[in-house]
Amino acid sequence: MFSCHHVFVSFFLYRYLRLAVNLMGFCLHRPIPIPENPRLTSQNVTVVIPSVQGDGGELWYTIRSILATEPFEIILVTVGAQEQQAKKALKELNLSKVRIYSVSQPNKRRQMVRAIPEIQTDITIFADDDVTWPSTLLPWMLAPLEDDRYGGVGTNQRLRRAECPNLQQRVWGYLGALYLERRNFDCASCMFVDGGLPCLSGRTVAYRTSILRDPAFTYEFTHEEWLGQYQLNADDDNFITRWLITHGQKISYQHHKQAEVLTTLEDNPKFLKQCLRWSRSNWRSNITSMFCDRHIWTHQPWSTYAVYLTTVSHWAFVWDTLLVYFFLDMARPWQSDTRDIGLALLVGWMFMSKFVKLLGHYIRYPGDFFLLPVSILFGYLHGLIKGYAMLSLNVTAWGSREGADDDDAYRMRRVSQKHHEALAFRETAVCYTQ
């Protein structure tokens, strides 16, 4: 039988080995540099923006920031009647190099697929309609793609903070900023250790157009199933990341100030709905990666432990409680002074671990350090969000954006038996023709 000492040490190492190695990886990670004579330029780039909007200050602010990087063109894919509204606004704003298309239903995968046949460049960048690009972004995103082994490139992301926020906006904005900070940390550290990362975020991501035009990719992208019961039309960026990994394409993450994209998150209680949506997406994608595709176990072993497994094993309140319990049980024979010192060191270590990888944020915004207790409490409460997400994986609702849920049932719909029979027939026919 294992003693309490063995159990405590095992739990401690499993929980904090990840932090120690990731800290090293984060400090040592360097982005792929821009070559002196690049083969790819901004004129090799088409930017695709799927949006449920056809007008609005934020949308056109995003488009202007992208146009400042001088891509070949922008393709805006909106929904239904929003197309005419977008074309009218485009004419009034007199913006060139922007084409507009639409689909009938607000579904990001279908909007992306609608744009792909229209792309005339070697590189495609998908961007959300609420991001702000720095003028220096494209050379950094294109640098890894100079190497033909790379199929996708992600970027550093930070929150575009509200101007003169009230207390509520500041607290919710603080939690959103930390979410992005943690993501940047995990991506940079895992990229250094084994070339993996959780996901090439669709907020701004570059791919080779040839990959997106592959008929096999298009079919799988528009016919992904979840648990063999549902056709999944959400989680587009997770799918493409998995596709690249399973098809031998390298991925890169450019963690650099000049490749830093600003984005917006909810600065009100709707942020909880965003967290719920992200958590459901993580559950679905990470389960698929670990137990269906399974490539990550051999190709990205560190990322599997440091990121993917945390979906099922990382519950902050449970882990912290168990660590304290096993320590006290292990230290029962110790003298009380020694036990108290050991407990203080353990609690101090646990406290340090909750902000050390967010240190960059606190250096930029030292006033936010006083909100640290809020982030610790939210980290414990997030377990409830994560647990509820686990029990509702067949839900894909945004709940935080007007128009995004107009056809939510289409993003996760049951697959009929006839569909399975047709799919089996198609696969059999392909086998006979090979």
DSSP assignment of 303-338 equals: HIIIIITHHHH--HHHHHHHHHHHHHHHTTTS-HHH
Please give the structure tokens belonging to residue 361. Answer: 């944020």
CB atoms within 10 A of CB 156: 22
- Residue-level pLDDT, tens digit, the chain, 434 residues: 567 788 999 999 999 999 999 999 999 999 999 999 999 999 999 999 999 988 888 999 999 999 999 999 999 999 988 889 988 888 888 788 999 999 988 889 999 999 999 999 999 999 999 999 999 999 999 999 999 999 999 999 999 998 889 999 999 999 999 999 999 999 999 999 999 998 999 999 999 999 999 999 999 999 998 877 788 888 899 999 999 999 999 999 999 999 999 999 999 999 999 999 999 999 999 999 999 999 999 999 999 999 999 999 889 999 999 999 999 999 999 999 999 999 999 999 999 999 999 999 999 999 999 999 999 999 999 999 999 999 999 888 766 556 555 565 656 677 765 454 444 434 333 333 33
Contacts of 384 (CB under 8 A, 6+ apart): none
> What pLDDT score does 171 carry?
96
Which pLDDT score is estimated for 109?
A: 93
* CA distance linking residue 131 with residue 103, whole number of Å: 22
Distance between CA atoms of residues 342 and 359, nearest Å:
25
**SS3 of 122, please?**
coil
Q: Note the residue count of the chain.
A: 434
pLDDT given for residue 64 in this prediction = 94
At residue 103, the 3 state secondary structure works out as strand
Core vs surface per residue 15-52: b (16+ CB within 10 A) or e = beebbebbbebbeebebbebeeeeebebebbbbbbbbb
Q: Is residue 100 within 8 Å of 83, Cβ to Cβ?
A: yes
Residue 421: what pLDDT?
45
Residue 430: the pLDDT is: 37
Query: Is this structure's pTM higher than 0.85?
Result: yes
State which H helix or E strand residue 16 sits in: helix 4-28
User: Going by DSSP bridges, is the β-strand pair 123-127/45-50 parallel, antiparallel, or unpaired?
Assistant: parallel
pLDDT of 416 reads 63
Contact 158, 180 (CB under 8 A): yes
